[in-house]
């Protein structure tokens, strides 16, 4: 029963999102645009961290794109549905509450997979990216599953922010965090002051985890996973707080 | 269904929002096969009562049950359909997609065609929700409430935003549902609506019951009311009740 409901929810969620070009297009186009501009147009075969720029940036812009899917797909859509009361209609129904959360997460993961595939195809076709199938599969898996902790952070923003302020808040979190973590410009090329901030950000650990699959990156994979898991737990706790706070609000 | 079963019950429910007490020790019982109206002006606690009943809001004291079970548990809401006052139903799903999705939440839903027929949505099934008129949107909300073939309906101000024609149509749909032997609890600030639909009326003011009975009994209690339940007369009866309750309170 729960599996069937979750499947139906996911299908509805995907349908909804695909009919909203304002979500679907930027989610795919921004990482692709950045990747083409920074990785491919500016010399894809230059060496960095034991690989080529185009390969390195497939990992970092892949991570950037995946985080966007999770924060926008989850955070903004959740904030809107919560703010407009749609969440209440669902809560009054016998739908298991987890079903819609899992459905939104699966939708974000689907978009994440699409972003990574798109960047991989472009990287292989125009950036000379050559990866062993097993390596690519590992990178793909890490990138797509990496959406999960950011879905939790998106859920937190969506549970705390108002429907109108959520997109702005997501942008304020997403863009600086990605830059400071070396997802736009490799961390090696950033001023040392910024490189010292990076480890405090979840995006840094995600980027390094992805680079690790290519034999690069800093730190151990287990440590990055642990840090991301803690961020995810923090996100879930913040979301639980926000939803409980909603319950205490006066209704008309 | 047992005759002794109580479809919906609030038992000595108190709910506070900060300094405001929305519900004072409220007892309300919806009996099998009846239509009960919770009548009161804005701020009387009607919406809080409905939300407590549906498990969206947890009471500070007392408890709510749906068919004898705790409404805070999702599956215990499976025999109840609800219509809430909310603004934002996702605009990019069609009528049929919305109804089909909601139907998956229930163990024995109505066939799609039947739901559309009862709610007066035939021919609109392929229309996106965002393209519907106000009256059509309200019919979708009604369709979502009945699609699970529930034994009881809980309707929060079902016709408040509708024009006369749409309101009469929804009344007819509610009556048709009651004719199938189902129970309905609805809130309204519109006295004519309570009179037109309800077997029994509970008048709520400041989170307390100030009068209870058939529409006729209430008018009698309010003193010297005319024979027929015209909207204006009923309004006067209601206002006089309100004044009585207020002056009692101020004497204390």
Q: With the C-alpha atoms ordered B233, B236, B242, B245, is the resulting torsion angle positive or negative?
A: negative
Tell me if B82 and A93 make a contact (CB, 8 A cut-off). yes
Q: Which of B57, B87, B105 sits opposite A85 (nearest CB)?
A: B87
pLDDT at B248: 44
State residue B252's pLDDT score: 33
Query: Is residue A181 scored above 80 in pLDDT?
Result: yes
Q: How far is CA B185 from the centre of its chain?
A: 4
Residues of chain A contacting B92 with CB distance shorter than 8 Å: 15-16, 19-20
Whether B17 sits inside 8 A of A83 (CB atoms) is no
Residues B17, B8 contacting (CB under 8 angstroms): no
**Which of the residues B56, B70, B137, B138 would you substitute to probe the A interface, choosing the one with the greatest number of A C-beta atoms within 10 Å?**
B56
Choose the closest CB to A86 out of B17, B89, B107: B89
| A86 to B101: CB separation less than 8 angstroms, yes or no | no
What is the SS3 string spanning B198-232? CCEEEEEECCEEEEEECHHHHHHHHCCCCCCCCHH
- B8 contact residues in A (CB cutoff 8 A): none
Is any Cβ of chain A less than 8 angstroms from the Cβ of B161?
Answer: no
Higher pLDDT, B102 or B87: B102
Burial label, A71 (beta-carbon count in 10 A; 0-12, 13-18, 19+): buried
**Whether the Cβ atoms of residue A49 and residue A189 lie closer than 8 Å to each other:** no
Q: Taking CB atoms and an 8 Å limit, are B88 and A97 in contact across chains?
A: no
- Per-residue pLDDT tens over the stretch B38-75: 998 888 999 999 999 999 999 999 999 999 999 999 99
Helix (H, G, I), strand (E, B) or coil at B183: strand
B169-203 burial code (b ≥16 CB/10 A, e <16): bbbebbeebbeeebbbbbbbbbbbbbbbbbebbbb
Q: Does B6 touch chain A (CB under 8 A)?
A: no
**Does pTM top 0.90 for this prediction?**
no
Instruction: Tell me the CATH number at B155.
Output: 3.40.50.300
Predicted local confidence at residue A45, as pLDDT: 80
pLDDT digits (tens, 9 = 90+) for B121-149: 999 999 999 999 988 999 999 999 999 99
Residue of chain B nearest A11, judged by CA positions: B101
> What is the pairing mode between strands B61-66 and B35-39?
unpaired
Average pLDDT, chain B: 86
Distance CA A184, CA A157 (A): 23
Q: Which chain B residue has the Cα nearest residue A84?
A: B88
Instruction: Establish if B19 touches chain A: CB-CB under 8 angstroms.
Output: no
> How far is A2 from chain B, CA to nearest CA, in Å?
9
User: How many other CB atoms are found less than 10 A from the CB of residue A230?
Assistant: 13
Q: Which two tokens stand for residue B62?
A: 């007392």
Of B17, B107, B144, the CB nearest to A249: B17
In a domain, B133, yes or no: no
| Within-domain flag for B155 | yes
| pLDDT above 80 (res B229) | no
Looking at the domain assignment, is residue B182 inside a domain? yes
Residue bearing tokens 């990605």: A178
Name which residue leads in pLDDT, A42 or A3: A3
State the pLDDT confidence band at A189, using cuts at 50, 70 and 90: confident
Number of domains in chain B: 1
Pairing relationship of beta strands B80-83 and B152-156 according to DSSP bridges: parallel
Question: Which residue is associated with the tokens 């499947």?
Answer: A7
Tell me the domain boundaries of chain A.
2-246
In a domain, B191, yes or no: yes
Q: Provide DSSP, A62-95.
A: HHHHHHHIIIIIIIIHHHHHHHTTHHHHHHHSS-
Q: Which residues neighbour A159 within 8 Å (Cβ) at sequence distance 6 or greater?
A: A78, A79, A82, A238, A239, A240, A241, A242, A243, A246
Model confidence at B240, pLDDT cuts 50, 70, 90, reads low
Pairwise CB contact (< 8 Å): B92 & A85? no
Task: Check residue B247 and give its pLDDT.
Answer: 46
CA distance A85 to chain B (A): 5
Whole-number Cα distances in Å, B116 to B86, B109, B174? 21, 12, 14
Query: A237: part of which helix (H) or strand (E)?
Result: helix A221-247
> B119 with B143: CB under 8 angstroms?
yes
Structural domain harbouring B48? 8-79+151-251
Query: Is B141 within a domain?
Result: no
Residue B87 domain flag: no
Sign of CA dihedral B105, B108, B111, B116: negative
């Amino acid at each position: 029963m729960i599996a069937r409901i979750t499947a139906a929810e996911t299908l509805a969620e995907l349908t909804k999102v695909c009919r909203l070009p304002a979500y679907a297009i930027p989610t795919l186009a921004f990482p692709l645009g950045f990747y083409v501009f920074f990785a491919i147009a500016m010399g894809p075969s230059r060496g960095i961290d034991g690989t080529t720029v185009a390969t390195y940036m497939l990992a970092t812009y892949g991570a950037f794109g995946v985080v966007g899917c999770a924060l926008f797909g989850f955070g903004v859509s959740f904030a809107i549905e919560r703010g407009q009361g749609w969440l209440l209609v669902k809560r009054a129904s016998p739908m298991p509450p987890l079903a819609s959360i899992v459905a939104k997460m699966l939708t974000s993961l689907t978009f994440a997979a699409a972003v990574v595939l798109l960047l991989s195809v472009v990287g292989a076709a125009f950036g000379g990216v050559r990866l062993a199938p097993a390596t690519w599969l590992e990178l793909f898996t890490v990138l797509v599953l990496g959406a999960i902790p950011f879905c939790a952070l998106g859920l937190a923003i969506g549970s705390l922010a108002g429907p109108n302020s959520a997109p702005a808040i997501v942008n304020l979190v997403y863009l600086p965090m990605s830059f400071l973590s070396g997802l736009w410009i490799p961390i090696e090329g950033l001023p040392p002051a910024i490189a010292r901030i990076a480890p405090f950000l979840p995006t840094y650990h995600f980027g390094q985890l992805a680079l690790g699959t290519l034999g690069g990156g800093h730190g151990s994979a287990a440590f990055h996973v642990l840090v991301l898991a803690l961020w995810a737990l923090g996100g879930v706790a913040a979301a639980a707080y926000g939803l409980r706070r909603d319950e205490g609000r006066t209704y008309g | 269904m047992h005759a002794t079963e109580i479809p919906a019950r609030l038992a000595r429910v108190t709910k506070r929002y900060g300094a405001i007490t929305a519900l004072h020790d409220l007892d309300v019982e919806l009996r099998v096969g009846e239509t009960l109206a919770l009548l009161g002006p804005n701020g009387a606690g009607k919406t809080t009562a409905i939300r407590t009943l549906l498990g969206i809001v947890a009471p500070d004291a007392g408890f709510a049950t749906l068919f004898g079970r705790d409404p805070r548990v999702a599956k215990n809401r499976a025999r109840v359909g609800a219509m809430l006052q909310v603004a934002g139903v996702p605009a990019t799903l069609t009528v049929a997609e919305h109804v089909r999705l909601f139907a998956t939440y229930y163990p024995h839903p109505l066939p799609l065609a039947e739901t559309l027929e009862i709610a007066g949505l035939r021919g609109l099934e392929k229309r996106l929700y965002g393209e519907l008129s106000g009256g059509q949107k309200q019919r979708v909300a009604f369709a979502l409430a009945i699609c699970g073939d529930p034994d009881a309906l809980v309707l929060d101000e079902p016709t408040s935003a509708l024009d006369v024609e749409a309101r009469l149509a929804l009344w007819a749909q509610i009556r048709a549902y009651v004719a199938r032997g189902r129970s309905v609890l609805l809130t309204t600030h519109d006295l004519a609506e309570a009179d037109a639909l309800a077997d029994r009326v509970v008048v709520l003011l400041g989170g307390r019951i100030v009068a209870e009975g058939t529409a006729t009994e209430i008018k009698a209690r309010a003193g010297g009311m005319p024979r027929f339940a015209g909207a204006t007369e009923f309004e006067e009866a209601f206002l006089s009740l309100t004044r009585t309750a207020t002056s009692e309170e101020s004497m204390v």
